[in-house]
Amino acid sequence: MTTDEYAADEQVVYVYGVAAGTLDLSEAPRGVEDARVVAVEDDAMAALCSFVAARDYTGEPIEARAGDVQWVGPRATAHDAVLTWASDHVEVVPFTMFTLFSGTDAVRSMLRERRAPLSDALARVRGASEYTLRVFRSHVPTDDRALAESEPRIAELEKLAAEATPGQRYLLERKLEKARREERSRAGAAVAADVASTLAAHSVETVRSPLPAPSDGDAGARAVLDASFLVKRDRVDELRAALGALVEQYEPRGFRFELTGPWPAYHFARAGS
Amino acid sequence: MVGDDIEPVSDEERLVLGELLNHVLDKGVVIAGDVTISVADIDLIRVGLSLYLTSVETLERSSSSRGDLPVLPD
């Protein structure tokens, strides 16, 4: 069926996520398109849903809007608001945006067919929230001196370059810059590994997301870690204290930390994770 | 309808939005991810993925054109 075949008033079901048990939705925030959030229930699980116009949310219309941040933005905010509100009341497995079903029967079938992985995911996120940490490494002016002090290979290259003839110096300086880059990259990976494993000790689960490909040169900040932690609510203070110690240790070396959360457990709703 | 004609967003709002999209458009295999939109015959993962990529690319372009903002995660 193509989008053109939908009647103007035909609707599909947008699912935000699945909550454990029943939830009084009378106080829930409005969802996408300012729509009311309703529950489709099956045996102690509730899919949080809104009805949206099929013509807007299927096929070409939605693909066409894919790159339009002005369109996606408010809907992303609404999607998150519904899940954040629900997560404050019961455990919730969030679905990714634009998870759509043809009708409430299809939603109920999904709840039945996926009962086992959903129950498993609900159990894992019980009493926990997601926190996301990004660590960036900046090239600080004192870097080069610190690198030479810690790495004899770099100190040697610096010495050779300083004593070389202009012709040789060019090649040596290129070699030196490459060695510095490698060393910075190695140091970044080591800090990322330390930070991730330290915080994992205070978390139920950890997911590391892929980093963006490095851009040319060392200008600006480069991400060395993008990780999400599923943290029990009674251990959040502990996680923050551990992070505080890491910041104190690594910030003077040019590492910057950005923690966001609590989020609904977006990164922990994967089957089999 | 929510905010179809919202004001242009500031750089800070773009970063917040980038962070939000990073969460709500998770690229991983989500638990409901192989449910197909039966009415439209489109794989949900593909829809989500292309949305994510194009939205974030748009954000990155606007960020990198200013040159002083951290690169958003892939």
B44·A69 Cβ contact <8 A? no
Residues A85, A159, single domain; the answer is no
B36 in helix, strand or coil?
strand
Whether B10 contacts chain A with CB within 8 A: no
Please tell me the total count of domains within chain B.
1
Nearest to B1 among A34, A62, A264 (CB): A34
Q: Using pLDDT thresholds of 50, 70 and 90, give the confidence band for residue A244.
A: very high
Determine the structural domain holding residue B61 and report its residue range.
Answer: 35-65
Q: Using pLDDT thresholds of 50, 70 and 90, give the confidence band for residue A202.
A: very high
Residue A26 burial (CB count, 10 A): 6
Of A6 and A246, the one with more pLDDT:
A246
Of A71 and A270, the one with more pLDDT:
A71
Q: Would B71 be classed as within a structural domain? A: no
Chain B interface disruption, residue of A97, A224, A257, most B CBs within 10 A: A97
A132·B22 Cβ contact <8 A? yes
**Residue where one domain finishes, among candidates A126, A152, A171:** A126
Over the stretch A214-236, which tens digit does the pLDDT of each residue have? 655 545 678 899 999 999 999 99
Q: Would B3 be classed as within a structural domain? A: no
Query: Which CATH number do you get for residue A207?
Result: 3.30.70
Range scoring the smallest mean pLDDT among A102-106, A182-186, B8-12: B8-12
**Residue where one domain finishes, among candidates A64, A95, A126:** A126
Of B70 and B15, the one with more pLDDT:
B15
**Residue where one domain finishes, among candidates A70, A101, A126:** A126
Q: Would B51 be classed as within a structural domain? A: yes
Determine the structural domain holding residue A158 and report its residue range.
Answer: 130-268
Average the pLDDT over A116-123 and give the result: 89
B10 in helix, strand or coil?
coil
ipTM: 0.75
Average the pLDDT over A76-97 and give the result: 92
Please tell me the total count of domains within chain A.
2
Residues A85, A62, single domain; the answer is yes
Q: Would B9 be classed as within a structural domain? A: no
Please tell me the predicted confidence (pLDDT) of residue A146. 78
Q: Would A273 be classed as within a structural domain? A: no
Average the pLDDT over B58-70 and give the result: 41
Q: Would B19 be classed as within a structural domain? A: no
Residues A76, A121, single domain; the answer is yes
Q: Using pLDDT thresholds of 50, 70 and 90, give the confidence band for residue B42.
A: very low
B58·A69 Cβ contact <8 A? yes
